Structure 1
């Protein structure tokens, strides 16, 4: 090449190729391909063009562009980069540099994605006017061509969709510039509708940020951890990371609105258990389209920039009770309210599903409360005292000798007056710990429950008082087993199976099913297999797991099952009959084609094909 156009900001590489073709005066697009890449078979690609090393090598002397520059600033790879594995990112760059561009879309996962490529290239009329003033001509902007981008990130108006499309074009080598397109169309200007505009503006701005900021792959695991931690803070996931789908999906749909999500090809049916949202937020096994990552970020109130910063700074842990150290709330200790507790054990409330934090101080005081904390004042709240500790009991012994009221004692110790009475009930014996007192209380409740419901089983008793059973199961399981009713064996007798009778019946059903497959009215031939027979008679597990008890059935299966070769012969005969009904002569090549035979099988069926066809 003796000339290559200078690339404009945010110009997609397809646009530069289109301008080159227009300015070169070539009437044949293949000639343009030869000049650009040295290869006439290269196809016009919008998102992931290939042969970029060849392109840069053929540029005129003084060329300022390298394959890396073109990929980062004028293709769609940066749009996908943060959301794909690092290895795939480098593989994609090598594919785009090389002549093996046919695998690019497969590598990025486009064919399998349910977010389909837009039908026509888009432009912003305000950008057209601005580009003509600054650069002398309009061009296709890269940020306008992403799925889900309906408004301009720079101007508050709707993008115009043209009839220039790469998915349905007849000439796969064709490049069409925006100026050529505008010759046949009036320059339209449509102000954006205020409905859903803020969301569409967010998608457009974040798309432009993805394309222009040069992010690195973030890693699927880190992305998943980030999303789940945010959902935990919003109450849509518990402390272990288990997501509450029945709450999340309706809230997600309400946030965006059903109609907008349908337009963005991203609506989630609440009744389904395998939506794209499930795949994105569960264990990261597959990649997801960047548009859907942007929707999740919008729902979480985050941006690409804030997400990247938090992941890079390792700020993605879930802390329902804030950061430690936490205060000791033992009123009897000198360090009351001082940040003495360095660790917090988080469990899940069995009734509400909310996180429960247990805080243990070196003074022996142990307390817990439900979370997550809503304000800084929540750090000074106690839900339940699990153990008072030696310091508290020592203070109780001291103030019990003083001439003060019961209420004053309870105020100084931070507990209920009845608690003080219980702890002082036997002054001659050591004061039991809170755990011992709980144990006595729970054991008493369990004995009363068992004695008043002697006819019930352990499972039935457990349902009557789950909290008592759960406490004893955790703290004194052996005592619980000793003082629980013995499991009674079921009085109902299981009916014994007459395998001989069943074998005889299933053998008949196998024969009938095989005949149905062989002589069915359907035009589509089906091979007689054990799986197909089992599916039709509704006894697939029996045929695979219990065939050793069904000798007659096994014998019948050996008779009726088709090998691959037998099925191929039946298919050849069937197709030959169909051809004879429409053609006077059945040709050999035609019979082979309609029979769907691979080359390696043609020779093994040579005689059958020869008998049924003419060369």
Structure 2
């Protein structure tokens, strides 16, 4: 060849070949194949063109293009690179360099994929205008031809699909340039559905990122571990990596929407058991289409860049309790809260399905807690103590012989007082000693209290030493009753109550209390209620429990008690008087405001308000 067109950014090789065919003046496409590859039988492949070594050898002298550069920047192999094995990646390169192009699609798994290649090459009308201004002509962009790309990653508009197809061609040697297509049709600007635009934009951007960078294969196992660890953080997989499909599939379909997933050939029904998502997230055995990897990344809130960074930094493990070492929470040990535990055994809670971590220290202290941890403070929480250990037990034996209370013992050991008693039950001598010492101490205190306050009742004595009374009541109630003063009230002969006289007296007190509420000097307006009257006369229980024996009092209450409406009416009149003392005219809105009336009371008392105010 004496001429080969310069390749534009993001231009697919098919586009460069179509421009060469147009500029060469060849009427027969086989002549173009002969010029490019030296073989008239080569097919016009869009995604994985072959014979690239022959192509570079036939380029004009001084050409800087190499088969490696053409593969990376102008074919679709980088689109698949991250998601296939190293061996497959190298095999694909060799196939594209050599003349075995028919096996390229088989190697990448295209025929078996359920994502069928979209018919018709696509272009962005805004890119056409931009390319003509910068490069002098429009060309087929590589990033626009990927499966699932319906919008331009650079411009906020939909791509336009042409009738130029690269599958099932009548003439499999034909190359068609974009400029030839544009001569026969006008530029169109298709709107993008707003409900799916962000997702489609994400797919387009990530597709362009895959194509515009030189990626090395990550390996199917690393990809699988990354996806599962993210699902574990989202609560859609347990600590062992078992996927909760009943939760994952509905959440996945809801995130994208059924219509969009159908359009992207990736919709999944909950009843299906061997879908592409199952194959991708279970033990990796086969490769999956890059579009579906992008869908999973979008659902997980990740990108190609964040995924590759985390995998390269080995940040793909799921650690529901963080990284070790973990602190020992044995309050009896010298290394309390120090990070000395190096291993954590993780199991599954049978009730909630959440991970449970068990931490065992060399001091014998074993505790567990339910995860995952939400903050660093969770590292210092105990869900359940499984074993106290010898260090804890020794500390218990020592402090149990000291003159301290059970509550203080439990505080020092970091447990409940009942736990101290139950743990001491293994040593009856020690427990009896500790309990007996405490019993003797409280009994002495109680005896001294009685001797120095012989005139007081049990209730009065209890207030003077609440702790001694409570301990004896719980642990030796018989002794407490035998050594307490006799209730003097039980000795006195109960006098009969003159209910008629009491009724007459209380009725007078009710009237006085009601007058005090109504006319007494108080900064706060108070409603006349049974509770308020009873509180003021000090006979609240009688008014509620014994009113059936106080007929005169009941009659008096019926006379003086105020309903809510009556109280509000009194409030309105008083506030009106206050306003009249300061204002010549009382306005309706001012009276309502100072009276603090709710809307329903304004409607009830509108006649009263209207009589006292002017509009």
Query: What is the TM-score when the length of structure 2 is the normalising length?
Result: 0.69
CA contact under 8 A between 2:400 and 2:430: conserved in structure 1?
Answer: no
The residue correspondences of 1:117-132 to structure 2 (distance < 5 A) are 117-132=117-132
Structure 2: 5+ residue stretches without partners: 432-615
Distance 1:173 1:426, change over 3 A: closer
Q: Which runs of 5+ in 1 are unaligned?
A: 432-615
Q: Does 1:172 align with 2:172?
A: yes
Counterpart for residue 214 of structure 1: 214
Secondary structure of 1:223's match? helix
For the residues of structure 2 that align with 1:111 and 1:59, how far apart are their CA atoms?
Answer: 32
What SS class does the counterpart of residue 82 from structure 2 fall into? helix
| Residue 428 of structure 1: how far off its partner (Å) | 4.6
Q: What is the DSSP-based 3-state SS (H/G/I as helix, E as strand, rest coil) of the residue aligned with 2:357?
A: strand
* Residues 548-599 of structure 1: per-residue CA shift (max 9 Å, x gap): xxxxxxxxxxxxxxxxxxxxxxxxxxxxxxxxxxxxxxxxxxxxxxxxxxxx
Name the SS for the 1:385 alignment partner. strand
Q: Secondary structure at the match of 2:347?
A: strand
Structure 2 distance, partners of 1:167, 1:295, is 25
1:374 aligned residue: 374
TM-superposed CA distance for 1:165, in Å, is: 0.7
1:228 and 1:262 mapped to 2: Cα distance?
24
Displacement of 1:133 after TM fit? 0.8
CA offsets 1:182-204 (integer angstroms, 9 cap, x no match): 11111112343321111111111
Q: Work out the CA distance in 1 between the residues paired with 2:264 and 2:377.
A: 42
| Counterpart for residue 53 of structure 1 | 53
CA separation in 2, counterparts of 1:137 and 1:335? 75
Match of 1:201 in 2: 201
Q: Distance in 1 between matches of 2:426 and 2:222?
A: 57
1:338 counterpart residue number: 338
Instruction: Show CA shifts across 1:442-466 (max 9, x none).
Output: xxxxxxxxxxxxxxxxxxxxxxxxx
CA contact (8 A) 1:347 1:356 kept: yes
CA deviations 1:445-492 (Å, max 9, x no partner) are: xxxxxxxxxxxxxxxxxxxxxxxxxxxxxxxxxxxxxxxxxxxxxxxx
Query: Are 1:152 and 2:191 an aligned pair?
Result: no
1:176-234 CA distance string (max 9 Å, x none): 11111111111112343321111111111111111111110111111111111111111
Please say if 1:291 is aligned against 2:295: no
Tell me how far apart the structure 1 counterparts of residues 365 and 99 of structure 2 sit (CA, whole Å).
Answer: 70
Pair 1:26–1:335, CA change in 2 (3 A)? same
Contact 2:233 2:318 in 1 (8 A): yes
Residue in 2 aligned with 1:3?
Answer: 3
Determine the C-alpha separation between the residues in 1 that align with 2:230 and 2:146: 26
Question: How has the CA–CA distance of structure 1 residues 424 and 176 changed in structure 2, closer, same or farther, with 3 Å as cutoff?
Answer: same
| Root mean square deviation, CA, Å | 1.4
CA distance in 2, matches of 1:144, 1:196: 18
Are 1:151 and 1:157, in contact at CA under 8 Å, matched by a contact in 2? yes
Alignment of 1:91-110 (within 5 A): 91-110=91-110
How far 1:426 moved relative to its partner? 4.0
Query: Do the aligned residues in 1 keep the contact of 2:52 with 2:67 (CA within 8 Å)?
Result: yes
Q: Confirm whether residue 304 of structure 1 aligns to residue 304 of structure 2.
A: yes
Where does 1:32-431 land on structure 2 (aligned, <5 Å)? 32-428=32-428
Aligned mates of 2:149, 2:429 — CA distance in 1: 76
How far off is 1:55 after superposition?
Answer: 0.6
4+ runs deviating over 4 angstroms: 428-431
- Post-superposition offset of 1:288: 0.3
How far is 1:392 from its partner?
Answer: 1.2
> Is the 2:144–2:152 contact (alpha carbons within 8 Å) kept by the matching residues of 1?
yes
Alpha-carbon distance in structure 2 between the residues aligned to 1:40 and 1:229: 51
In terms of Rg, which structure is larger? 2
2:424–2:430: 8 Å Cα contact kept in structure 1?
no
Residue 397 of structure 1 and its aligned partner are, at CA, apart by 1.6
Task: Give the superposition deviation at 1:430.
Answer: 9.5
CA distance in 1, matches of 2:298, 2:176: 35
- SS of equivalent to 2:239: coil
Displacement of 1:346? 1.0
Shift of 1:259: 0.8
Write the distance in 1 (CA, Å) between the matches of 2:123 and 2:404. 83
- Give the drift of 1:351: 2.6
- Aligned-partner Cα distance in 1 for 2:135–2:393: 83
Instruction: Tell me if structure 2 keeps the 8 A contact 1:345–1:358.
Output: yes
Partner in structure 1 of residue 30 of structure 2: 30
CA drift at 1:237 = 1.3
Q: CA deviation at 1:335?
A: 2.2
TM-score by length of 1: 0.69
Tell me the equivalent position of 2:15: 15
Relative distance call for 1:429 and 1:238 in structure 2 (3 A) is farther
Deviation of 1:429 (Å): 7.2
Q: Is the 8 A contact 1:126 1:155 kept in 2?
A: yes
SS, match of residue 83 in structure 1: coil
Q: Give the whole-Å Cα distance in 2 for the aligned partners of 1:382 and 1:196.
A: 46
Paired with 1:131 and 1:192, the residues of 2 have a C-alpha distance of: 22
Q: Do 2:333 and 2:392's aligned partners in 1 also have CA atoms closer than 8 Å?
A: yes
The whole-number CA distance in structure 2 between the counterparts of 1:206 and 1:429 is 74
Query: Helix, strand or coil for the counterpart of 1:356?
Result: strand
Return the alpha-carbon distance in structure 1 between the equivalents of residues 426 and 346 of structure 2. Answer: 35
Q: Distance in 1 between matches of 2:203 and 2:124?
A: 16
Pairwise CA distance, 1:25: 1.1
Give the C-alpha shift of residue 110 in structure 1: 0.2
Is the Cα–Cα contact under 8 Å of residues 156 and 191 in structure 1 kept in the other structure? no
Distance 1:430 1:127, change over 3 A: farther
